[in-house]
Structure 1
């Protein structure tokens, strides 16, 4: 046997060939051992790494380590398509210059709670990484000019998380709606400078909008639903609503594809709006009306008669959900499989027993589930 065979056995194998071998290896232990074979194989392993994730930590020292490791890791892994940095509150714009060097390969960028990032840093990344598809700016101090640079540079943008970006206004959203015609999911929860009017004329590809604790206006809500493509809408805890109910606009014929609707803690929702939504959203599968105290017998009857596709309903702590409302669900909603009914004091023991006996296909839970619909993390993975 040639004594030099061990050191030259891969001499005729190209990087592409070794990458194919590496990708077929099952199990993290074997994958980690691949790079221990020799320096060449370690380099191939580094080329195969596509994702870099820094998680949140309870230890502040960890974030200082993140900041020191990031430049070296970006150099070590040149083919990254996904980068997620969490909790580095003092991460400066200068570090984004290194991320910019990932170029067109970078598809996903998440900057959770990176307070030190400014519009200038976001502009650098946007210009250098035009193929970004998913961007998370959760709690970042980004303003409309930064959002404009992102929208005008990254026309392939599909998923954008702006939750707690309190400096963003309708002007920035209008530029986003105009420039990015592939938008799929947008999160603006707790962005209280956005009324929703910027979504007017948005792409019909927009199917997921998370607007928890926002200040949408009736005109803004109308602009959101008129895109025609919404499948998921979260208006939980809608703040400072100045319309006379007005949520019936959701059922005006533009949200016929809607499957998940969260109106939790929208205490002003009336029977008229519930009736309109029940008739105008025939594909609705999950609906939260938790803590919606103004929904009464007429509203529950409309849900029972018109929500033919409804599978999950939340009525937690609804003061006016009573035996008659439960009867409407019992006699209608043939697809209903899960009912969250915590704290409904007007439902009697007899009414509940009759429902349980006649609708054994429905599971009734007395806990309070906060979220509705698909997990947002799946969209931004």
Structure 2
């Protein structure tokens, strides 16, 4: 092939990188994309710099790669070599690498500047020392998942100081953290949007007090929350999703009033499943103070009686889904209040265990034929919405 002057040989590899990248990105066939780099070193280089995500065989996160980006086995390759090759990665998943040591994250100090999402779920060997490498090298990080990692408050403080742009943090089952570390995270990351702290046994919730109004998602299921902690969680004023299920059996019936005290007016999804201590006053306060509530899980909340159900029917005008499975103190008058109110209700999960008569249920079906009655208990709240945390 010759150029227009006929003086010098020319080929596609003489095009600048931006032209070759443009060509590569527009290849529709997966086979063509996979074989692009086999042509020559130049095209291999272009293929490498186009790669934006990397996930290993042992990873079990929801991250998906195209067929041209096959999964890699962390045992077969040195992470330093891979990061050196793919220097424009924006997403890296090492989830499931249970024997990965802190030293394995050292290459992130040199090659982590472009990484925005990092998944380390069940990397049991990762401690505060590994987090220090992340904080030093991944300054652009916005999403991190440390599910079941052995980090402490020291690691969270380091992470907050080095990765101040964090938006989504998963600390589920990180049993060594406390409110002290959460305070450093919420105060150091002013763009924080979502945090998962479920099953963190030493967390009471006070560490989130004074958080940024950008925080819209909190999953604190099975934490040791207290009244002050619940107040702290909603204090930012921006929450749209709150899961504090399976907490509060040690609290009084009015301990959840804080949710309806004015800070959670934007709340759309609320999970209070297995919060057996919640009473009528708390239920009424939430119904009045959370006007945008669309889904509310009150399964096994035995403390709510007829006055509470009446308040829900009267004030929850935007409620679409309500879970009342096995609520022992839901009787015919309570179901009648729900039937007369909750005008936007489309699904009612009622199941067994309540004292509602068959006649009351049939009357509900007849007069509210637009509402679907479901018997089964739904463990997860709005999974399609929760997955986008």
TM surpasses 0.5:
yes
**Which position in structure 2 is the counterpart of 1:335?**
344
Partners of 2:21 and 2:119 in 1: CA distance? 27
1:214-244 CA distance string (max 9 Å, x none): 0011111111111111111100101553445
1:88 shift after superposition: 1.4
Query: For 1:376 and 1:203, how far apart are their aligned partners in 2?
Result: 20
Over 3 Å counting, the alpha-carbon distance change for 1:235 and 1:54 in structure 2 is same
Aligned partner of 1:293 among 302, 306, 311: 302
After TM superposition, give the deviation of residue 120 of structure 1 in Å: 1.2
1:273 corresponds to:
282
Query: Match for 1:263 among 254, 268, 272?
Result: 272
C-alpha contact (below 8 Å) 1:67/1:91 kept by paired residues = no
Q: 1:201 to 1:20 in 2, by over 3 A?
A: same
Q: Which position in structure 2 is the counterpart of 1:114?
A: 123
Q: Does structure 2 retain, via aligned residues, the 8 Å contact 1:247–1:269?
A: yes
Whether contact under 8 Å (2:253, 2:282) holds in the other structure is no
CA distance in 2, matches of 1:115, 1:239: 29
**Partner of 1:42 in structure 2?**
44
Q: Which runs of 5+ in 1 are unaligned?
A: none
Distance 1:240 1:271 in 2: 15
User: Which stretches in structure 2 are left out of the alignment for 5+ residues?
Assistant: 3-8, 61-70
For residue 261 of structure 1, give the secondary structure of its aligned residue in structure 2: strand
Larger CA deviation: 7-16 vs 330-339: 7-16
Paired position in structure 2 for 1:308: 317
Distance 1:141 1:239 in 2: 26
- CA pair 133-267 structure 1, distance change in 2 beyond 3 A: same
Aligned pair 1:66/2:68, yes or no?
Answer: no
Q: Find 2:201's aligned residue among 188, 192, 196.
A: 192
SS class of match (1:182): coil
| Distance in 2 separating the partners of 1:125 and 1:23 | 30
Paired position in structure 1 for 2:63:
none
Indicate the residue corresponding to 2:180 in structure 1.
Answer: 171
Q: 1:137 aligns with which of 140, 143, 146?
A: 146
Distance in 2 of aligned mates of 1:166 and 1:372: 24
Structure 2 vs 1, CA of residues 253 and 54 (structure 1 numbering), >3 Å: closer, same or farther? same
Q: Is the contact made by 2:252 and 2:278 (CA closer than 8 Å) also made in structure 1?
A: no
Structure 1 range deviating more: 84-93 or 342-351: 342-351
Q: TM (normalized to structure 2)? A: 0.90
Counterpart in the other structure of 1:378: 388
1:209 match: 218
**Structure-2 separation of matches of 1:92 and 1:64:** 18
What is the rounded CA distance, in whole Å, between the counterparts of 1:242 and 1:347 in structure 2?
A: 27
- TM-superposed deviation, 1:271: 0.8
1:228-263 deviations in whole A, cap 9, x for unaligned? Answer: 111111001015534453101100111101111000
1:254 has 2:263 as partner: yes
Asked if structure 1 preserves the Cα contact closer than 8 Å seen for 2:171 and 2:197, the reply is: yes
> How much has 1:34 moved relative to structure 2?
2.6
Cα RMSD after superposing both structures: 2.1
SS of residue paired to 1:68: coil
Q: What per-residue deviation string (whole Å, max 9, x for no partner) do you get for residues 56-113 of structure 1?
A: 579xxxx994233252432331111111111212101111111332232111111011
**How far apart are the structure 1 equivalents of 2:292 and 2:189?**
27
> Which of the pair is proportionally richer in helix?
1
Distance 2:35 2:339 in 1: 59
Per the alignment, residue 247 of structure 2 pairs with 238
Q: Whole-Å Cα distance in 2 between the matches of residues 300 and 197 of structure 1?
A: 30
Distance 1:180 1:291, change over 3 A: same
Deviates more, 1:33-42 or 1:122-131: 33-42
The alignment of Structure 1 onto Structure 2 pairs a total of residues equal to 371
Runs of 4+ in 1 over 4 A off after TM superposition: 55-58
